[in-house]
């Protein structure tokens, strides 16, 4: 696993697909192999990022435009990159991130006319052009993923099923367009089976 030192790995996918669970399982596995791992969540992790997260997910903010939404996500990432991710990578640590720009390229794409090129241009500024080395998309049917969300749904989760169906298509399209840096793992299975596929993907990264 030594080749993973200084690598940036993202877990992404629809609601309730098991990102947080699988990220923690990978963290434990890598740490047991002697690697230093930093686990972060997007948006969030930093003080500023958590404040932005609260604004983004609050159902009371239903007047928020899609461009504003996209820019807030990127602002939280910009802070997390400078404060947490880039220093950790420079120290040879593995960074595992729960969601990242791949989410914006799925959830905000097309809203208010936003194109993938628009999103990537803003992301390049926010990330200082340090993109993830590997993005693992945990894929499952929308009805199954939504059914897994047991708590009160946040502002994004409350959107209609048709929206989430398009989000899933956007994730799969990203992976198809960039097979070197993306892996799709079927998430509607036993957690250990999913973890096994993720380990294989990470080992090959």
User: Could you say which architecture CATH assigns to the domain 2-204?
Assistant: 3-Layer(aba) Sandwich (3.40)
pLDDT in tens, 17-32: 999 999 999 999 999 9
State the average pLDDT for the chain: 96
Report the chain's terminal Cα–Cα distance, integer Å. Answer: 10
Domain ranges of the chain: 2-204
Whether 6 shows a pLDDT value over 80: the answer reads yes
pLDDT in tens, 70-99: 999 999 999 999 999 999 999 999 999 999
Q: Give the count of beta carbons closer than 10 Å to the beta carbon of residue 158.
A: 11
Verdict on whether the full-model pTM lies above 0.75 = yes
Please report which helix (H) or strand (E) contains residue 21, including its range. Answer: helix 19-32
The whole-angstrom separation of Cα 41 and Cα 86 is 14
Q: 40: pLDDT confidence band, cut at 50, 70 and 90?
A: very high
Whether 152 shows a pLDDT value over 80: the answer reads no
Sheet hosting strand 94-98, strand order edge to edge: 37-41, 94-98, 8-13, 134-139, 182-186
């Amino acid at each position: 696993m030594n080749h993973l030192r200084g690598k940036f790995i993202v877990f992404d996918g629809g609601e309730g697909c098991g990102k947080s669970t699988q990220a923690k399982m990978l963290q434990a596995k890598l740490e047991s192999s002697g690697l230093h791992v930093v686990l972060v969540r997007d948006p969030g992790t930093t003080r500023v990022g958590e404040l932005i997260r609260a604004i983004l997910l609050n159902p009371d903010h239903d007047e928020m435009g899609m461009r504003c939404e996209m820019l807030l996500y990127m602002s939280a990432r910009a802070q997390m990159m400078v404060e947490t991710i880039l220093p950790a990578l420079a120290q040879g640590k593995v960074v595992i991130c729960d969601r990242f720009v791949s989410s914006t390229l799925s959830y905000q794409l097309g809203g208010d006319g936003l194109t993938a090129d628009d999103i990537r241009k803003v992301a390049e500024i926010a990330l200082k052009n340090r993109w993830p080395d590997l993005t693992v998309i945990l894929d499952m049917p929308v009805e199954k993923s939504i059914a897994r969300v047991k708590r009160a749904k946040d502002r994004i989760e409350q959107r209609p099923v048709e929206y989430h169906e398009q989000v899933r298509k956007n994730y799969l399209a990203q992976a198809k367009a960039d097979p070197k840096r993306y892996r799709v793992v079927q998430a509607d299975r036993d957690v250990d089976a999913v973890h096994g596929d993720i380990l294989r993907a990470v080992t090959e990264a």
